[in-house]
Chain A
């Protein structure tokens, strides 16, 4: 099925560093979601974005809904070991026929070293 382009695919960083990842699409989305998934668990919602240009924070996490409505960014500041996991973006296409479906990014695997 359709997937969003998510980058980077993986990141290996040192504790305390900031992290940035993004998702891009060739089509317009009306919602962007960011999830984190730990091994053996389901995706946990981090941030939901509903308007172009919207910038939302959740603790050390900040996400933005791109003004073109075709991309979104997630930043993590001052990373800590528990940030380790796979981060997925997910978007809901604007086209009416697809409003039931979330389109997922390919995931960014984050490793944090002490």
Chain B
């Protein structure tokens, strides 16, 4: 059982829609991460939050907007996505920034029509 919870598990949206992905952890971890994973590929880092502040943005397009309301929650706001953005979006957390291991959620499978 994963201790990082992601909702929804699946999401289908049109290119003009606005939606949000949610991630929650109650392990007391102070670093949280968003990854994008395409089929048969390893996860690719998108964003890193440390103590609720954005510390790394891996040159992600602005149509992806992360938010960390508190130490347990991480959101990813989506707007005007493209078909190539269809992927599995994974959230992870670790005790602190740079600390290992990272623990992953089960992801949100996103499909853009």
Contacts and interface: CB of A to CB of B under 8 A. Distances in A.
B85 interface: no
A114 interface: no
Interface stretch (A66-74, A77-85, A94-102): A94-102
B18 to A, nearest CB: 25
Interface in B87-106: 90, 97-98, 100-106
- Say which size band chain A's interface belongs to: 20 to 34
Given A42-B90, A42-B105, A104 B43 contact: yes
A31 B42 contact: no
Nearest to A105: B42
Interface in B53-99: 55-56, 58, 90, 97-98
A45 B4 CA distance: 12
A42 B104 CA distance: 6
B109 A40 contact: yes
A99 B106 contact: no
Interface residues of B, number: 25
Contacts of A3: 42
Contact of A106 (B42, B103, B104, B109): B42
A31 B42 CA distance: 18
Given A40-B109, A44-B2, A88-B42, A100 B48 contact: yes
A106 B109 CA distance: 20
Given A42-B2, A42-B107, A101-B45, A31 B56 contact: no
18 contacts: A1-B44, A1-B45, A31-B101, A33-B100, A33-B101, A33-B102, A40-B109, A41-B107, A42-B6, A43-B104, A44-B104, A45-B104, A50-B100, A99-B98, A100-B98, A104-B43, A106-B41, A109-B40
Given A45-B101, A92-B100, A102-B102, 9 more contacts: A42-B4, A42-B6, A42-B106, A45-B103, A45-B104, A48-B100, A100-B55, A100-B97, A107-B42
